[in-house]
Structure 1
Amino acid sequence: MNKLRFVDVCAGAGGLALGLEAAGFEPALLLDRKQVACETLRLNRPAWNVLETDLLDFDPSEHQHTYDVDLLSAGLPRVKSSATVARAETEEELRLLEAAVLLAPSIQPRALIIENVPGLVDSPKFEGVREFIRKELEHLDYRFRWFVLNAADFGVPQDRKQGVLVALKKQYFDAFEPPVPTVAQHVTVGTVLGRSMAARGWPGADAWAAQAISVAPTLVGGSDNRGGADLGPTGSKKAWERMRVNGGALGNDVPGPGDPVSGLIKLTAAQTALLQSFPEDWQFAGKKTARYRQIGHASPPPVGTALGLAVAAALNS
């Protein structure tokens, strides 16, 4: 059976694309406007067709191989909460969301996956956006579902809720079922990071892992316009502190033999990639903060795999 083909916009570090690849999809094109993200994609998958351009400037007519693909996917920059809804940054994120939907008439995919914040699914703040999407998709003969997934239900050691839109051409829609959890018990931070904490001979590794018995709070990549690399807002930092992690900064390396066995430790960017369930051999381009931002903004690959398998099952039904 031929692989299903997809176009992935706002591809970032490749979390969603990597998940779709594991579900049997093959990318026709991956698009992102950030040079460092495109470097990451090319570093890991030299054969992938990666285009560095802004989604708002993308013209599918200049890329004939994107026509008539099976899937258009988009792990878009997160639209902001009501507290920041007036910001220009939020307006741009909403324009990107609309631009992704407006690619459908040109690309003509049999299915779409758009992933964003949970509030996009049912919050009154985004009713206008949902109505715009409804009109566009129904005009193009798609049917669709909104739902929320938690990455922790798919083996990702992180409480990360994602709002998802899946649309399919009418003849495939009735065969679509949203993904169901793939794990009966959530994977803990200590389980995933225990081996890396011990990699340099830190004597406190086993004790640290034994007390890190919950999933991580949601990793937040932050804005490119301000701040450095940290693990999220105040509430997240407090949750990290309960696991003896300093959520205010990242470390350059895991603890070693001479480091204290008590107190707070810092995670490395590579460890946060494990918390997003990237493969250990997936490399990230750029300096520490740039690497972490790519990781924090990514969609965990296991969620992409679950979505890809559900869409593929409908398309192949």
Structure 2
Amino acid sequence: MNDKFSAISLFSGAGGMDVGFEKSGFDVLFANDIDPVACKTYDLNHKISSCCGDLRDYFDELFRHKGVDLLFGGPPCQGFSVAGKMDPEDERSQLLWTYLDAVKLTKPSAFVCENVKALAVNSRWTGVREEFLRRAESYGYVTAMLVLNASHYGVPQARERMFIVGVKKQLTKLSSEQLEQVLKRELSSRECVPESVGDLIRRLGRAGSEGNSKVCSAIITYAKKPVLRKSAYAGMLFNGAGRPIDSNGLALTLPASMGGNKTPIVDEDEIFNGTASYVGAYHEHLVSGGAVKSGLAPSRLRRITVDEALAIQSFPSNYILTGSQSAMYRQIGNAVPCQLAAVLAEAVKSVLSDVSYLKVA
């Protein structure tokens, strides 16, 4: 089996997907993103520099890498996300087709396209899915569409994402259905249980300490009209979209909008002193008919730090972020969890390496 494969990274952002694919033996030769801050972060952490700007302006450079082993990347997802406007005419949604243009131009042995779960399962995007797969097939690829939960692969975050994997028909014996089965089998063999968010934070240290210094100052106030759900960690007990995280469990999807009151909340006393959850107690109080509280929440509740968000996304502990604090949170929230990318990369590498899957031994 080959140990090293060449790759192109598109819509690279801060480089989370690249970390995972590089860890699994892919040598990234070209990277691109339009965000100059994310490009600077990428440059500080990878052996090549990200070509910053509109991808379409770099097609001549891309063509020089024709025949690369793998092309991977995640076109902007805001146009498809249930958290956004779900507008198919959103200019960012059109970049999905720019991604396929790059596939057609470079003719990689395989490609991996990442996006939000909604693109794979929402009936609103049926036409988009079918068109993407039709075009990929016309370019000579068998394809498999997967929805993966990062928490199944050691990431302490219940983050679900769609991945479309394509492999050149002329290289593989597999049909699209068989490719999906092989990838699922490879992925299943790599499943593992992640640590809890509380364990992760204890490992980093208290907010403000040397290893966990980039704190978020956004205040936490009680919601005037709480939205109650069965779980204390759903609904809305505090103002803003940043919901509390169960320290004994997993984070929900970290959004790119973190940095203000959309930054998730943790209970410092529960994590470091072993006291009972304040969020759980307040939720029980409300469910039992207790009065709604007002003003500032107790200081034991705080927003997660940049360092914690970075770790929840499974970035290396020495990863360097650039830009303002809000830009750091945005880069983290936009990233594919590194560990999820690494596991998927291993599965794709198996398909490209194992002679039982290939037409030519």
Identical-pair percentage: 29
Matches within 5 A, 1:1-317: 1=2, 3-45=4-46, 47-55=47-55, 57-78=56-77, 79-81=80-82, 84-86=85-87, 91-170=90-169, 171-172=171-172, 174=174, 176-178=182-184, 179-180=187-188, 182-198=190-206, 212-222=247-257, 228-231=259-262, 263-317=300-354
One-letter amino acid of the counterpart of residue 195, structure 1: R
Could you give the per-residue CA deviations for residues 77-125 of structure 1, whole angstroms, max 9, x where no partner exists? 222339722486xx12220111101211111111111111112113211
One-letter amino acid of the counterpart of residue 177, structure 1: L
Given the two structures, how large is their TM-score scaled by the length of structure 1? 0.81
One-letter amino acid of the counterpart of residue 334, structure 2: H
User: Which segments of 5 or more consecutive residues in structure 2 lack a partner in the other structure?
Assistant: 211-245, 271-275, 280-297, 355-361
How many pairs align? Answer: 284
Q: 1:256 — aligned with what?
A: none
Structure showing the higher helix proportion among its residues: 1
Per the alignment, do residues 165 and 230 of structure 1 end up closer, same or farther by CA in structure 2, a change over 3 Å counting?
Answer: farther
SS of structure 2 residue aligned to 1:133? helix
Q: Is the 8 A contact 1:229 1:292 kept in 2?
A: no
Q: 1:250 — aligned with what?
A: none
Tell me the C-alpha RMSD between the 2 structures: 3.0
One-letter amino acid of the counterpart of residue 215, structure 1: L
SS of structure 2 residue aligned to 1:97? helix
One-letter amino acid of the counterpart of residue 152, structure 1: S
- How many angstroms apart in 2 are the aligned matches of 1:2 and 1:197? 37
Could you give the per-residue CA deviations for residues 38-75 of structure 1, whole angstroms, max 9, x where no partner exists? 10011112x214200113x2342234442111111112
User: Which segments of 5 or more consecutive residues in structure 1 lack a partner in the other structure?
Assistant: 203-210, 246-260
- How many angstroms apart in 1 are the aligned matches of 2:267 and 2:128? 33
Deviates more, 1:123-132 or 1:283-292: 123-132
SS of structure 1 residue aligned to 2:91? helix
Per the alignment, do residues 216 and 228 of structure 1 end up closer, same or farther by CA in structure 2, a change over 3 Å counting?
Answer: closer
Deviates more, 1:187-196 or 1:143-152: 187-196
Deviates more, 1:160-169 or 1:123-132: 123-132
Could you give the per-residue CA deviations for residues 229-284 of structure 1, whole angstroms, max 9, x where no partner exists? 4446xxx6699999769xxxxxxxxxxxxxxx963023211110001010100011
